[in-house]
Amino acid sequence: MPPRASLLFLLRRLSTRPPHRDHPKVAALLGVLNSAPSSSTSLSNALSRAFPSPSDAFPLQRLPHLLPLLPSPLLSLRFLLWHLTSSSPRPSQHALSSLAASLPDLLSSVSLLLSSSPRPLPLPHYALLLNISAHAGLFPASLAVLRHMRSFGLVPGAACFHHALRAAGSAGDVSAVLEIMSGSGACPTVPVIVAAVHKVASAGDFEVAYRLIDKMPEFGCVPNAVVYTAVLDGMCGFGNVDAALRLMEAMEGSEFGANCAPTVVTYTCLVKCLCGKGRVAEALAVLDRMAERGVMPNRVFMRTLVEGFCTEQRVVDAYDVVERVIGDGSVSSTQCYNVLLVSLWKVGMEEEAEGLAQRMMKKGVQLTPLAGSSMVRELCGRKRSLDACYWLGLMEENGVLCDSDVYGSLLLGLCEDGHIHEASTLGRKVVDRGILIEVSCADRLVKLLKQYGDEELASHILRLRRRSEGLSF
């Protein structure tokens, strides 16, 4: 696409939104990119001169919408590398995952970037490329980056190898990464070995996983419960429950040493696997094994086990687990009952869930914001907006604050069901608190409120529209 055409294309996309003073920044960006200096360094310098503060000019949360609209996939990638290495703080893993998904034709872009670079890239660029490739699940891109580094005599750090292993999809991929690591003279760290054994165990190559663990002392690493838990979780992911049970018995029997005894995380992995296979009776027996060894359950273990029983419609057993754990004192009654409440809603047992919520309120067991929000969402999804409104009011009286998106969904449900009085009351509460509402939800609300003749509330809701994450810079 010619430079002028690409500029007009993007400006036409922007014209579908209200005009904004920052649109010239996008036009300026396209001007820099379309002049496209041949090297990454020259482009980075040009971008830095044009935009001294990248995060102010192009906020991170808007990049997933901007990247696909840039002149070429390669320029999108080069722009992103410049932006992320010139900004602080570093993006979260969640943000990187979103960015990786938005980059067009990432594998080809990485290959073209590397092949067109006669000199090594800045080290932070390599690390970012590996991290992004891991989020995209593109092992060929990860392998190409590692080989490019080695071609210039650069020794990748442990984090680089860890990112590459995250992208690995087979035992062969893991071997390729470890071969490069060995050739570069780098020693695997415990996190790298944990990632490697988990990958090969997940692929069913248990012997390879054990051989890697046996080699740990050669690298100055001591096998521990974490690495054996990784193997066990990989076995569970592969679907070999019996192998996981045998490994658990070996860990419990101190076959690998005292520091390899199973932890609550190990037991949680096993329980999740057993419940997923419908073997809930064996999952329940895990509690006894833990008690014998003095391992206390935590909230994650509780949620995993309770969800397993609820999924199998074994509510009585779920209650028994809750009462037992509360009695042991390892997890509070508030946490246990809220876990049970969320699990009941998740599997569609609404009558039992509402009954539990009523008993919790009566006994003074506080609902958590997560449980309360889940409850209102589920009721709205079942077109029970009046019941949802009742529960929301009751929870607020008891100091439980639900997530902001709950209010918009409930308001919309009340309007769609014709409960305009309740919608008006809740709507004014939303306005008074300044709770933002997602754009599409707010637009539908405004339309319905105008149909009901409440122009004033409609105008207030219009001002509470949550700003779009698109290109309205």
**Integer Cα distance of 67 and 80 in angstroms:** 8
Residue 37 is predicted with a pLDDT of 65
When pLDDT is cut at 50, 70 and 90, the band that residue 467 belongs to is: low
0.85 exceeded by pTM: no
**Integer Cα distance of 265 and 248 in angstroms:** 12
**Integer Cα distance of 5 and 461 in angstroms:** 38
Inform me whether the pLDDT recorded for 204 exceeds 50.
yes
Residues 6+ apart with CB under 8 A from 117: 39, 40, 148
When pLDDT is cut at 50, 70 and 90, the band that residue 88 belongs to is: confident
Bridge partners, 437 (sequence order): 465
- Is residue 326 exposed (0-12), middle (13-18) or buried (19+ Cβ within 10 Å)? middle
When pLDDT is cut at 50, 70 and 90, the band that residue 36 belongs to is: low
Which two structure tokens, joined as six digits, stand for 238?
């592969």
468 torsion bin: left (phi>0), alpha (psi -120 to 50), beta (else):
beta
Inform me whether the pLDDT recorded for 12 exceeds 70.
no
**Integer Cα distance of 121 and 472 in angstroms:** 33
Average pLDDT over residues 451-455: 91
Three-class DSSP category at 393: helix
When pLDDT is cut at 50, 70 and 90, the band that residue 17 belongs to is: very low
Residue 2 is predicted with a pLDDT of 46
Residue 464 is predicted with a pLDDT of 87
C-beta separation of 57 from 51 below 8 A? yes
The beta-carbon contacts of 203-211 under 8 Å, at least 24 apart in sequence, are 203/170, 203/171, 203/234, 203/238, 204/238, 204/240, 205/171, 206/231, 206/235, 206/240, 206/243, 208/171, 208/174, 209/234
pLDDT tens by residue, 267-290? 999 999 999 999 999 999 999 999
Terminal Cα distance for the chain, rounded = 24
pLDDT tens by residue, 122-165? 999 999 999 999 999 999 999 999 999 999 999 999 999 999 99
254 torsion bin: left (phi>0), alpha (psi -120 to 50), beta (else):
left
